[in-house]
Structure 1
Amino acid sequence: MNHKRQFTPEFKKEAVALVTEQGYTIARAAASLGISNKTLHTWVSLAREQSNGVLSEDERAELKRLQKENKELRTEKEILKKASAFFAKHMW
């Protein structure tokens, strides 16, 4: 009888996170979880392929917010530069 173990998506995600986010080696993470190196290597490879260049909805929203904030800060910086130059010119 060859029973193939089934793993939940949550388990796989957490196992992959040990390697990709917490810096575990595949061998160490696999050993601590009681799974084979090959299994974990496959999950990590698939996760990297799926996330390669793809942002989640939250990440896209955060990127958009940060880009807007960056634009506003650059504009404020230019205004302050001009004001500083104006006052420096007229103070003497």
Structure 2
Amino acid sequence: MPPAHPPEFRKRAIELARTSGKSIGRVAGELGISESCLRHWVALADADEGKSEGLTSAERKELTELRRRNRALQLENEVLRKAAAYLAADNLPNNVPGGRRAGRP
């Protein structure tokens, strides 16, 4: 993955895309970045400035963190669920059919 561009570069690229009168593809080519990258930057800037619908940069960052935390909690719950089932089965009396200790002396 290529290195991230500095914020000043992004800001200037967005400004050029908005004010130069050139197409985004042409501006992107002159700057040596992909057209989709510049379109993405412009769309994010529009959302951050309230010019368009969509998530702001801060909201995107928060959503990413919440999704990461949600995955971790789901994994923890699954581990706890399996541990509880294992311990519950281990505590069954010896004479209960289907218990882990059934049939053992």
TM-score, normalising length: structure 2 = 0.45
- The amino acid across from 2:37 in the alignment is T
Aligned residue number for residue 35 of structure 1: 33
2:21 aligns with one of 18, 23, 44? 23
Distance 2:20 2:36 in 1: 19
Structure scoring higher RCO (CA < 8 A, sep ≥ 6) equals 1
2:8 aligns with one of 7, 10, 19? 10
Aligned residue number for residue 51 of structure 1: 49
Identity %: 37
Which contiguous aligned blocks of 4+ residues in structure 1 show a shift greater than 6 angstroms? none
- The amino acid across from 2:19 in the alignment is E
Gaps of 5+ in 1: 54-92
Distance 1:49 1:16 in 2: 13
- The amino acid across from 1:33 in the alignment is L
- The alpha carbon displacement at 1:22 in A equals 2.2
Distance 2:32 2:45 in 1: 20
TM-score, normalising length: structure 1 = 0.51
Structure 1 or 2: more helix by fraction: 1
Aligned residues: 51
